[in-house]
């Protein structure tokens, strides 16, 4: 139930920040430009709660589109503290989930979009096979179809409105490739994730009554991390909000736009701020980092910004670690010198993060930490648990419950059941379905208590006992059930990847596990201490970064994202006499008063 009292308290907390206070009560189109540590998620959640309580009468609600499932989970957690749970009145999910559950699912049978009633989401192997068939049809037998598909895929997500001249007028060969690929998927009754917002856009554009139906349910649309969401979302916003009279509340930061390879474009957010019918509000206070780190971050960005720390906050600390020779020696320094020194200074392992450019660098750090007997948790592409996968997060939380979490209700069983219900049935399940699901889940969990199984063996039992029966009854076509198989493969004892279940569950003795993450995966997160590893002249920027001004600018923004993750301490590790040029600029700014 929505809590008026909780909302009043939340609004009162914002009075010390006039920009946040103005944003949450805005009743027109609003764009909030939120720098690192500026409280953008807090602003977004309070704005959603206020809209639901004060602006949107029951049974209407609001929708919030997020960059990934991890962002959605964070928003759901924060909104729960204000008495709001996802459901009929509050949709929270990715643009793909919004398109599938709010447009395609309800209305695809009413309009000619070429989808059967029982369409499925294509697996990776099905998508690869469709690319190969489409390449043979549209281009011919020469070249690698998957190399060529990278360019076709970029065009597909960029040129959303295919009635515009640029669809066939610019690279018509790629347009043929895309159309042949989609035709092959449709022949098999399949769609892929990129299809979802594209199909939803075409359905709404060609059938304005669908837009009216969406507005009737969600008169306000919230968008988190707008700069990351790309052209399909932007076109949907123009169609729903500026042509369809849905109110927009968008939050983002062009300085943290680092997903150009997925079609993200910071200019899309900038274009909204130039509209006369949009109010732009900038959040200037950084609640996360000390003043010294804030100054250094502007050196990392290479541009001036009007960001301020909080009066009385600690200054923060920076350290620079030149290491002889290359990545292996730098990883050894991280494990044997820097992390132990941070622990001596009082930092807990669980609040230390090592950030790097690519997953193969994470392998080097992981090897060094294993040799030093330092527990760690990875969130890069070689991670056991994908942060963006709801299924992987659910499995990990089940492990936490089994490994002792049941004693202190962390995680509570009710949350596990809610997650299971969403995974299998989407947002809605009958009372009987929920009871049967609960009996099955509780039976599996209690049977696992006291287990001496390793993570690999336990995951195999998860697959047999939960995933296999669930995927046969699932109504949630968005779910990636193959994630469990990937986790089993990633703990293969034959490759020395297995671990105790308590380690996987985060229930190891001591003060937690060091976080290993790529710079991309670290976006939106914060840690007490951050170690940026491999900040070498040849790595940041790389030769590829220097290929175009846009690529170089995005690489610098990526560096900036890393520098703005710590609250109290930042260490930069690089090859001696071979540091990134940005390190020197960062050092100079950090020394200013």
Where is the binding site for ATP, in residues? Answer: 34-41
Could you write out the DSSP letters of every residue in 124-144? HHHHHHHHHHHHHHHT-SSS-
> Backbone dihedral region of 214: left (phi > 0), alpha (psi from -120 to 50 degrees) or beta?
alpha
What one-character DSSP code corresponds to residue 376?
E
| Dist CA 19 CA 593 (whole Å) | 26
- Reduced DSSP (H G I as helix, E B as strand, rest coil) percent helix, strand, coil of the chain, to 5: 55, 15, 30
Q: How many CB atoms lie within 10 A of CB 409?
A: 11
**DSSP 3-state assignment of 408?**
helix
* Cα-to-chain-centroid distance, residue 271: 23
Binding residue numbers: 34-41
Nearest alpha carbon to residue 284 among 490, 90, 458, 34: 34
Please answer whether residues 528 and 342 qualify as being in contact, where contact means their C-beta atoms are separated by less than 8 angstroms: no
In b/e form, how buried is each residue of 302-320, taking b as 16+ CB within 10 angstroms?
eeeeebebbeebeebbbeb
Q: Is the dihedral of CA 15, 18, 20, 26 positive or negative?
A: positive
Alpha helices (H) in 372-508, listed in sequence order? 390-400, 406-408, 413-425, 431-448, 455-462, 468-473, 482-489, 501-504
**DSSP 3-state assignment of 237?**
helix
| Dist CA 199 CA 468 (whole Å) | 30
| Dist CA 81 CA 591 (whole Å) | 40
Please answer whether residues 38 and 285 qualify as being in contact, where contact means their C-beta atoms are separated by less than 8 angstroms: yes
What one-character DSSP code corresponds to residue 16?
G
Could you write out the DSSP letters of every residue in 47-108? HHHHIIIIIS-TT--EEEEESSHHHHHHHHHHHHTTT--SBTTEEEEEHHHHIIIIIIHHHG
| Dist CA 202 CA 548 (whole Å) | 33
Please answer whether residues 135 and 148 qualify as being in contact, where contact means their C-beta atoms are separated by less than 8 angstroms: yes
| Dist CA 65 CA 212 (whole Å) | 18
Residue with tokens 């993060």: 353
């Amino acid at each position: 139930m929505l809590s008026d009292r909780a909302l009043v308290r939340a609004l009162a907390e914002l009075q010390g920040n006039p920009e946040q206070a103005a944003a949450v009560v805005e009743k027109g189109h609003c764009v909030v430009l939120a720098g690192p540590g500026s409280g953008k998620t807090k602003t977004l959640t309070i704005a959603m709660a206020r809209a639901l309580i004060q602006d949107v009468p029951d049974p209407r609600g609001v929708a919030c589109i997020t960059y990934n499932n991890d962002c959605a989970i964070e928003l759901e957690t924060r909104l729960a503290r204000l008495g709001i749970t996802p459901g009929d009145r509050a949709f929270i999910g990715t643009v793909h989930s919004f398109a599938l559950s709010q447009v395609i699912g309800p209305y695809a049978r009413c309009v000619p979009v070429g989808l059967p009633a029982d369409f499925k989401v294509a697996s990776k192997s099905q998508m690869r096979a469709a690319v190969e068939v489409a390449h043979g049809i549209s281009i011919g037998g020469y070249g690698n179809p998957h190399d060529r598909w990278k360019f076709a895929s970029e065009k597909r997500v960029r040129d959303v409105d295919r009635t515009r001249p640029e669809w066939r007028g610019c690279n018509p060969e790629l347009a043929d490739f895309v159309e042949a690929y989609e035709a092959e998927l449709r022949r098999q009754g399949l769609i892929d994730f990129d299809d979802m917002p594209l199909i939803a856009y075409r359905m709404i554009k060609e059938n304005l009554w669908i837009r009216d139906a969406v507005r009737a349910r969600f008169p306000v649309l919230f968008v988190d991390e707008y700069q990351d969401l790309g052209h399909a979302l932007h076109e949907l916003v123009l169609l729903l909000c500026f042509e369809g009279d849905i109110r927009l509340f968008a939050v983002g930061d062009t300085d943290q736009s680092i997903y150009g390879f997925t079609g993200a474009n910071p200019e899309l957010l900038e274009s909204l701020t130039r509209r006369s019918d949009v109010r732009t509000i900038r959040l200037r206070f950084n609640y996360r980092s000390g003043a010294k780190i804030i100054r250094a971050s502007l050196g990392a960005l290479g541009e001036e910004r009007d960001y301020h720390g909080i009066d009385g906050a600690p200054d923060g600390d920076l350290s620079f670690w030149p290491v002889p020779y290359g990545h292996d020696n730098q990883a050894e320094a991280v494990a044997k010198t820097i992390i132990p020194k941070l622990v001596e200074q009082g930092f807990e392992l669980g609040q230390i993060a090592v950030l790097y450019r690519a997953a193969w660098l994470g392998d080097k750090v992981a090897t060094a930490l294993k040799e030093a007997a330092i527990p760690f948790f990875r969130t890069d592409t070689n991670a056991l648990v994908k942060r963006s996968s709801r299924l992987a997060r659910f499995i990990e939380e089940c492990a936490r419950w089994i490994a002792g979490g049941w004693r202190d209700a962390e995680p509570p069983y009710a949350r596990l059941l809610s997650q299971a219900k969403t995974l299998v049935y989407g947002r809605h399940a009958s009372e009987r379905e929920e009871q049967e699901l609960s009996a099955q889940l509780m039976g599996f969990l209690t049977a696992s208590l006291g287990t001496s199984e390793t993570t690999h063996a336990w995951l195999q039992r998860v697959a047999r006992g939960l995933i296999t029966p669930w995927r046969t009854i699932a109504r949630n076509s968005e779910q990636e059930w193959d994630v469990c198989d990937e986790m089993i493969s990633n703990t293969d004892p034959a490759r020395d990847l297995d671990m105790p279940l308590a380690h996987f569950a985060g229930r190891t003795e001591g003060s937690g596990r060091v976080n290993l993450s790529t710079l991309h995966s670290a976006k939106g997160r914060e840690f007490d201490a951050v170690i940026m590893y491999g900040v070498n002249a040849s790595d940041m920027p790389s030769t590829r970064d220097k290929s175009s001004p846009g690529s170089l600018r995005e690489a610098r923004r990526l560096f900036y994202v890393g520098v703005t993750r710590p609250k109290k301490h930042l260490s930069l590790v690089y090859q001696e006499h071979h540091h990134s040029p940005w390190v020197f600029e960062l050092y100079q700014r950090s020394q200013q008063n």
